[in-house]
A and B are shown apart, each in its own frame.
Chain A
Amino acid sequence: MQFLNDNRNILYSFGIIIFLIALAACTRNDEPELTPVHQATPYTFEIPPGFPTMLNIPEDNPLTLEGIELGRYLFYDTRLAGRADEGKFMTCASCHIQENGFVIGMPRPHPYGLDGDSTHHAMLPLINLVWNPGTYGWNGSVPSIEEDVRAVITDPTEFNSSPEAVVEAIQNISGYPELFEKAFGSREVTLDRIARAIAQFVRTLISSNSKFDRYLRGEIQLTQSELKGFVLFTTEEGADCFHCHGGAGNPLFTTHKFYNNGKDTLFTDPADRYSITGDPMDRGAYKASTLRNIEFTAPYMNDGRFNTLDEVIEFYSHHLLWSPYIDPLMHHIANGGTQLTPSEKTDLKAFLLTLSDTTFINNPKFGKPEKFPDEP
């Protein structure tokens, strides 16, 4: 009996110890997290019907109402470059103009920076970038919007400034430290926070309400010419745009992939896709830009060589150039182009214009704030 009692006592002890360990283990994980000093308001992202559910939002930069608001101020505040003391003012919106789909537009195909130097490539629109897989720019070299903002500051063809000057400029503008506190928990202005705030704002620039979107939603009908253009857009024997630029099944109107589309026979650009991948088949290859709001985003192509949609359609119809690097999807190279007739060109253009989203380019939430933080 004593043996049994001893064993029973051991069992009691064992059971209690295990119970306490288990309780402690669970308790440790169930402890409430320390309440942060600051909690910005999460932004609810509404994914339009048919759009990808996979969003490229970094874990360390979730969208918040306060972050987006701050980003919008910075996006439009020409003191951002940190060179106001030289009488030089520049910010994102100096070139990314809303009415042009956030490119600079004609007649300045290559934007130039504060010191007069032009950018290497023409601009890409800031449209639906929350779905970019992390290959920003014509050659896909920029991994994030945050990284792009940081690069702009020191780029000789853009701000040609320094992180210190930018931070100091914003820190010294009354009202901004309070906005940084609301967005990030303290009044400290840093380059990282500036980049994160602007990136948050840019990720909200969603275009999903074009005439074509309304057609897909069953709200309106397209004209006969627009419908014919849609058929041309999405058929191999037509213009065959859809393999690279999407369509109803890919409403981003880009695959975010890189193609040599037959513009040239010699390739000397040191900043093509080949410069990033080293793959010879990427010589002369550039990102297929989104066709959303294409009406507003001239000039076209990586070097801005085409000023109008008519020129672009003419190029794809009759002026493709063969090279060993031409993308295999460019099968119409066999005939020098798609050989669209004049009426087909008209129809295709009519369809492309259905991708214009006036609610996007006129959305006041994407536009310049009525006043900046230091203004009464």
Chain B
Amino acid sequence: MFRNLLNTLPYQEQCHTSVLDRLILFMSVMIILSLSGCDGEEPIDEPDNQSAKIRISFSHLIDDQPIDFDTLKYVNEAGNPYMVNEIQYFISDVTLFRNDGFARIIDDWKDIHYVDTDLPATQTWEVYDKIEPGTYDSIAFTFGIVPEKNISFMFVNPPEKDMFWPEYLGGGYHYMKLNGKWLPEGQTVQTIPFDFHLGRGQVYFSYPDSITGFIDNQFNVSLPASGFHLNSGETKEIEMIMHVEKWFKDPHVYDHDVFGGYIMQNQEAMLMVKENGHNVFTVKIKD
């Protein structure tokens, strides 16, 4: 009836109806486009034609093999037989470098990522940001959290909150808890726990009574052979691999018999951990 009514209009008015045609079509298209909004679902944040995304997975090896947790089968550089029970850590400020000087920091607040070998969901990181396509030469990140972001009480929910670093020891959060056990020299059975924890160190004036300052022990990791090309619309799979034995190896041979089971109040030991961390990670980029 609406169409017949239009056909009855004089030519002058039919000319106007061409505008009406367009209006109806425009409205129809707009309504169709808006249909997705009617169901109340959030749009999926997929890479579009001008961007790409990355997905980072985390794996943990000892002597190039997946870790056999809770099993006393490894020997570190110092000759300590040891096992690993669990590893929990933060990485942050993941940065993608191009050869033209462009550095793309994954700069959302979600850039502080928690990894836990007991929680599979933490071992895959769907990076929030859309990334500019192109060729990137390398990847770097902060192991731990930089001081300006390492703020006490910023995580209130588990599992991150359980990484808190006590205020008296400098506050913020553990960068890492690597918990295991080793067999001390002279022992044949009785393993002793080691809590290989890294975070803010302390400067003591008259140990252990007076702390005069704190030292931030986070460090930057530049991943070797981490160049890749990112195509528009692509989600790039990047695997970051922690080689656990290297924490105890290079440049410092870390001996559990010397440093014992706990180091949160031992800056000498934590400095060794920090300096050994430079080559603990490698990367695999999937085509």
* Chain A, residue nearest B179 (CB): A328
Asked if B158 contacts A242 (CB within 8 A), the reply is: no
Tell me the dominant secondary structure on chain B's binding face: mixed
> Is B50 part of the binding interface, using a Cβ–Cβ cutoff of 8 Å?
no
Interface residue ranges of B19-37 to A (CB < 8 Å): 21, 24-25, 27-28, 31-32, 34-35
Asked if A328 contacts B25 (CB within 8 A), the reply is: no
Asked if A9 contacts B156 (CB within 8 A), the reply is: no
Asked if B3 contacts A333 (CB within 8 A), the reply is: no
* Chain B, residue nearest A255 (CB): B162
Partner of B31, one of A14, A19, A331: A19
Q: Which residues of A contact B147 (CB under 8 A)?
A: none
Given contact pairs A328-B86, A328-B180, A237 touches B208 in the complex (Cβ within 8 A): yes
Interface code A313-342, partner B: CB below 8 Å = 1, 0 otherwise?
000000000101011111111100000000
Interface size class of A (residues with CB under 8 A): 35 or more
Q: Which residues of B contact A235 (CB under 8 A)?
A: 166, 168-169, 264-265
On chain B, the number of residues with a Cβ less than 8 Å from chain A's Cβ atoms is 52
> Is A163 part of the binding interface, using a Cβ–Cβ cutoff of 8 Å?
no
Interface code B254-267, partner A: CB below 8 Å = 1, 0 otherwise?
00000011111100
Q: Which residues of B contact A220 (CB under 8 A)?
A: none
A148 to B180, CA, bound (A): 35
Given contact pairs A12-B21, A249-B152, A328 touches B194 in the complex (Cβ within 8 A): yes
Asked if A29 contacts B164 (CB within 8 A), the reply is: no
Q: Which residues of B contact A54 (CB under 8 A)?
A: 157-158
A71 to B99, CA, bound (A): 65
Interface code A20-53, partner B: CB below 8 Å = 1, 0 otherwise?
0011011001100000000000000000001111
Chain A positions near chain B (C-beta within 8 angstroms):
5, 8-9, 11-16, 18-19, 22-23, 25-26, 29-30, 50-54, 133, 230-231, 234-237, 240, 242-243, 246-250, 255-256, 280-281, 322, 324, 326-334
Can you show 23 pairs from A to B with CB atoms below 8 A apart? Answer: A11-B24, A15-B27, A15-B28, A19-B24, A19-B27, A19-B31, A26-B34, A26-B35, A50-B153, A52-B161, A54-B157, A230-B168, A234-B168, A235-B168, A235-B264, A236-B197, A246-B162, A247-B164, A248-B164, A249-B166, A250-B162, A255-B158, A331-B261
